[in-house]
Chains A and B, each alone.
Chain A
Amino acid sequence: AQKITQTQPGMFVQEKEAVTLDCTYDTSDPSYGLFWYKQPSSGEMIFLIYQGSYDQQNATEGRYSLNFQKARKSANLVISASQLGDSAMYFCAMREGRWYSSASKIIFGSGTRLSIRP
């Protein structure tokens, strides 16, 4: 069963506009973490933001914020004031189990290709 779902295979956004990338997840583990990574065409994976399942407030990192709706099991990424350099693949990921556990692992969604129009 799909544990991380990204329903938007591709998105086009005008420069300077805000954009929301959707992510829903499925887990029965009360302890989990949610990540967003950016992958430009070079292939490197760039960490953007992290939200723990017990965190009370939504995570923010500069222009990135994570809209964490625990009851809906969604963790959407919001990019404010998009820039041309934001064009890339964006992956939502989930860690199941406690981070310090050797059994914990991170699985990724199918990704959303974001293209910023000048």
Chain B
Amino acid sequence: GAVVSQHPSRVICKSGTSVKIECRSLDFQATTMFWYRQFPKQSLMLMATSNEGSKATYEQGVEKDKFLINHASLTLSTLTVTSAHPEDSSFYICSAKIGQGDEKLFFGSGTQLSVL
């Protein structure tokens, strides 16, 4: 199956710093990528939908100035958590869809962010 690579897998940072998470589709072109956030023992909450070459569409309640999403190419989307605070600590996971004809979402392995 298609592979989505997400880095880093774990990051610890100080409060006030910015953290960038990368999501790459390795063997396919991902026209659309999704970013989810997951708190311990809870479900995945959709944060935003990222289409290549256009601005991301954020879900209600997600601060777009806080969570910057860039989808500059068909194989790379990045999520930057700006001025991170302890409440931003969470598991972030990206996913990508190939397009018409393949209904599966392919997920990255996730990034555990801990803000001290």
Which residues of A are interface residues toward B (Cβ below 8 A)? 33, 35, 37, 42-45, 47, 50, 52, 91, 95, 99-100, 102-103, 105-111
Contact = CB atoms under 8 A, between A and B. Distances in A.
Given A35-B105, A106-B105, A99 B43 contact: no
Interface residues of B, number: 28
Contacts of A37: 107
Contacts of B100: 99-100
11 contacts: A37-B107, A42-B109, A43-B110, A47-B105, A47-B106, A99-B99, A102-B32, A103-B49, A106-B34, A108-B46, A110-B42
B109 A50 contact: no
Given A91-B44, A110-B42, A111-B43, A47 B99 contact: no
B96 to A, nearest CB: 11
Interface of B: 1, 31-32, 34, 36, 42-46, 49, 51, 54, 57, 91, 93, 95, 97, 99-100, 103-107, 109-110, 112
Contacts of B91: 43
